[in-house]
Amino acid sequence: MAFENFPPTENLPPSVPNPKKDWRTILSIPLIIALLCTWGYIIWDKSKNKELIQQKDTQYASVISEKDTLQNLLDESTRMYDSLKTTNAKKDSTITKRDKEIAGKKAEIQGILSKQNATAAELAQARTLIASLNTDIENYKTQIEVLKGQNLVLTKEKEEVTQQRNAVTQQFDSAKVVISEKDNLIDIGSTLEAANFNILGIQQKKNGKEKETTRAKRVDMVRISFDLGENRIVTSGPKDLYILVTGPDGKPVTVEALGSGNFTTRNEGEKPYTQKVNINYVQGQKQRVSFDWKQNDPYVEGDYKIEVYNNGFKIGEGTRHFKKGGLFG
């Protein structure tokens, strides 16, 4: 067995500390402290960021809630305004101007609430505008009520005026009926009357003299005369008399070339006339009318009826009988 010889321990010098190992120990302490500070900062920063995020989330939720509240308030104001706009009150210039103002304010509020990132100041402005809008709507409602009251008054006044107008119209219509009836009576009363007929057959001599005759074949023309009675209703002036001659055959004698035609009667409708005679009548005076009637065809034996019409009425008639000629004509 081999044995090594070691120097006795008691004779060794005391141990000398390692300088390199001490330097590392001194250097690691600040690093550890810095690392601990870094970790502490990181932990604090994360906590702070989390707090900020929570605050932002809270603020965002508050903004969203405020926007929803304001939108609901605006919607409610809009519904109230729309219900007022349907009121059957006649609008005036003031109401029309108020409509434009309210519409402009609504658009301004809606523009703020439509922003994605509306600020608290903008939302506060929107709330102020909504309050102002509600005041405008209340004033608008008051004006509408005033107009409705005015419309009721006007409607009542219109009804009264309509009733008065209807009453006056009814009275006027009644008066027109009375006037029409009186006018009709006056019109009828202004019809002339013919009497005292004298119908003569006239033979015209070659020397120009005239001779009355009752022999048909000697008659060259017929002279008709009658009296027009006194009439204080008819006005003075030209009057038309329609003369209808009916021959022995019962047919009207008409010759268009000699002035025959048709006229309208009040009771018999349209009738032919043989001759129209125009006279100048003087109101309230008796007047004698005389005229000659001549036809192209020879006069024949029998009765000739003479009827006189004025104002659509027959006012008189007369008859003349012509005899057949004798042995010597």
All CATH 2.60.40.10 domain ranges of the chain, comma separated, are 195-322
Residue range 118-130: average pLDDT? 85
Higher-confidence residue of 90 and 217: namely 217
Higher-confidence residue of 83 and 131: namely 131
Determine how many CB atoms are found less than 10 A away from the CB of residue 115: 12
At residue 264, the 3 state secondary structure works out as strand
What does the mean pLDDT of the chain come to? Answer: 83
Higher-confidence residue of 257 and 274: namely 274
| 195-322 carries CATH number 1.10.3720.10 | no
pLDDT at 133: 80
Residue range 89-110: average pLDDT? 76
CB 314 within 8 A of CB 265: yes
pLDDT at 60: 60
Contacts of 320 by beta carbon, 8 Å cutoff, 6+ apart: 199, 200, 201, 222, 303, 304, 306
Instruction: Calculate the CA 136 to chain-centre distance.
Output: 33
CB 284 within 8 A of CB 233: no
pLDDT at 81: 74
pLDDT of 89 above 60: no
pLDDT at 233: 92
Confidence of residue 3 (pLDDT cuts 50, 70, 90): very low
Confidence of residue 26 (pLDDT cuts 50, 70, 90): confident
CB 187 within 8 A of CB 311: yes
Higher-confidence residue of 271 and 12: namely 271
pLDDT of 251 above 90: yes
Query: Residue 81 is which amino acid?
Result: Y
Higher-confidence residue of 182 and 280: namely 280
**Could you give the CA distance from residue 107 to residue 98 in angstroms, rounded to a whole number?**
14
Q: Give the range with max mean pLDDT: 116-120, 155-159, 280-284.
A: 280-284
Higher-confidence residue of 111 and 307: namely 307
**Helix 19-85, helix 120-189: angle, nearest 10:** 10
